[in-house]
Structure formats: C-alpha cells, structure tokens
Amino acid sequence: MDRTLKAVSAAMNALGSVLILFIMAVMTIDIGGRALFGRPLNGVPEMVTIAITVIVFLQFASTLRAGRMIMVDGFLDWLGARSVAAEQGLLAVYHLAGALAFAATGWATWPLLQRVLASGDIYGNVGVFTFPKWPVRVAIIAGCALVTLEYLLRALAHLRAAGRGQRLFAGGDPRDRILS
C-alpha cells in the first residue's frame, strides 16, 4: 500500500507542478497581451485562483511524505531529550489529529461536489470565461483522502517507534529511516 501511496502522491505532485507552469504561461501571455496589443487574456484571475486551490491539495501529500510540513518542534526537542517514547507518542497524536482534520475537510467537501454536479455550477462569467466547479472539488477530496492516509501511516510509524523507544527521522519518510 505504501508504494502505491507513494506513486499516487508523486503523480499528484507532478500534476500540481504542471499547473504551476500553466499559471506562469497564462500570466506571461496575459501580460504580453496587455503590453503589446492592449488586450488582456480573459479569465486569468479565475484560472489562477482555481489553479492555486488545486495545486495546494494535489501537492499536500507529497509535502507531508517529504517531511516538509511546518511544525513547531521546540517542545518536542525538550520532550525527546527526556523520553523518546513520549516524543514519538506525541507525534503519533499530532499525525492522528492531521488525519482527522483532512478527513473532515474531505467529508465536508463531498456534499459540495454532489451539489455542483447536480447544478452544473461554474466559475467565471458566461460569455467571457467559465470553468466547472466539480474538478476543483474532486481535487480537494482526492488530496484530502491521500493526505489522510499519509497521516495515518505516519501515526502508526510513530506509535511503533514509541513502543520500541526509537526516534524516527523527521526530515523524510519515517517508516524507513529510524535513528537511535
């Protein structure tokens, strides 16, 4: 399961990177159109807004897997110096909380997806630029599902490490880099 999760996470991260390139190209075309022809590209603000939302959710799991999530670890350093098991147990709780937060976000987005599928709701202005809302909702739900699984795997790894009294390496995949 971990290999599959890693592959899906990498694919979603790559798709997010392609969207970043897309935003750069669209903004360059928009600026060139304004400067050279006095005509901006229609829908650029909408495209950028949509793409940023999708990029965040597509790349979140990869960020977590790489150990790049923002954390205040001063207390963890203090606790780890006194008890590695307590430190790892607290990290397990932290990762469980992350899993719950993303599961709740995905769960809350599901009815919104159903609503936009039924209504055909769109972003933008008809006749100028339109984009359906459902792909954004799907990206949010898929990203939340993947991040939830990543957090659960990390919580399990920290629980196992706590039981062994070992410290997991915080800067990468904790399931295969154990430090003593």
Instruction: Give pLDDT tens digits for 66-98.
Output: 888 887 788 888 998 899 999 999 999 999 999
Strand-pairing partners, residue 167, are 179
SS3 assignment, position 174: coil
Cα 17 from Cα 90, distance rounded (Å):
33
- Greatest CA separation for the chain: 67
Domain boundaries, the chain: 2-179
The pTM (predicted TM-score) of the whole model is 0.86
Q: Which residues of 136-149 are buried (b: 16+ CB within 10 A; e: fewer)?
A: bbbbbbbbbbbbbb
Q: What is the pLDDT of residue 180?
A: 32
Q: What is the pLDDT of residue 171?
A: 45
Element (H, E) at 78: helix 74-82
